Chains A and B, each alone.
Chain A
Amino acid sequence: MLEFWTTPLGWTLLTVGQILLITVVLLICVAFLLLMDRKVWAGVQLRKGPNVVGPFGLLQSFADLLKFVLKELIIPAGADKFVFLLAPIITVIVACIGWSVVPFAPGWVIANLNVGILYLLAVSSLGVYGIIMGGWASNSKYPFLGALRSAAQMVSYEVSIGFIIITVILLTGSMNLSTIVDHQAGSILNWHFIGGGANLPTVVVMFPMMVMFFISALAETNRPPFDLPEAESELVAGYQVEYSSTPYLLFMLGEYMNIVLMCAMISVLFFGGWHAPWPEGYLEGLPPTLVSFHGLIIFSVKIVFWFFMFAMVKAIVPRYRYDQLMRLGWKVFLPTSLVAVALIAAWRVFGPGA
Chain B
Amino acid sequence: MNLQAIAFYVLSVITVVSALGVVSARNPVHSVLYLILSFFTAAGLFVLLGAEFLAMLLIVVYVGAVAVLFLFVVMMLDVDFGSLREGFVRYLPIGGVVAAVLVVEMVLVATAVGEQGAAKGSGAPDILLDAPNTEQIGRVLYTDYIYFFQAAGMVLLVAMIGAIVLTLRHRPGVKRQSVMDQVARTPAKGMRIVQVKTGEGISE
Contacts and interface: CB of A to CB of B under 8 A. Distances in A.
Q: Do A and B bind each other?
A: yes
A97 B69 CA distance: 24
A2 B36 CA distance: 41
Contact of A118 (B27, B29, B33, B53): B53
Contacts of B71: 132, 136, 151
A132 B68 contact: yes
A158 B59 CA distance: 13
Contacts of B179: 327
A32 interface: no
Interface residues of A, number: 29
Contact of A125 (B29, B59, B177): B59
Interface in A92-134: 113-115, 118-119, 121-122, 125-126, 128-129, 132-133
Given A136-B29, A175-B134, A323-B177, A118 B68 contact: no
B60 A8 contact: no
A148 B72 contact: yes
Nearest to B133: A114
Given A8-B2, A151-B68, A175-B134, A125 B63 contact: yes
Given A8-B2, A115-B52, A115-B53, A125 B72 contact: no
A301 to B, nearest CB: 30
A114 B59 CA distance: 16
A115 B134 contact: yes
Contacts of B134: 114-115, 175
Interface of B: 2-3, 27, 29-30, 33, 36, 52-53, 56-57, 59-60, 63-65, 68-69, 71-72, 75-76, 132, 134, 177, 179
A-B pairs with the 8 shortest C-beta distances?
A125-B64, A118-B56, A122-B59, A114-B132, A122-B60, A115-B52, A115-B56, A136-B75
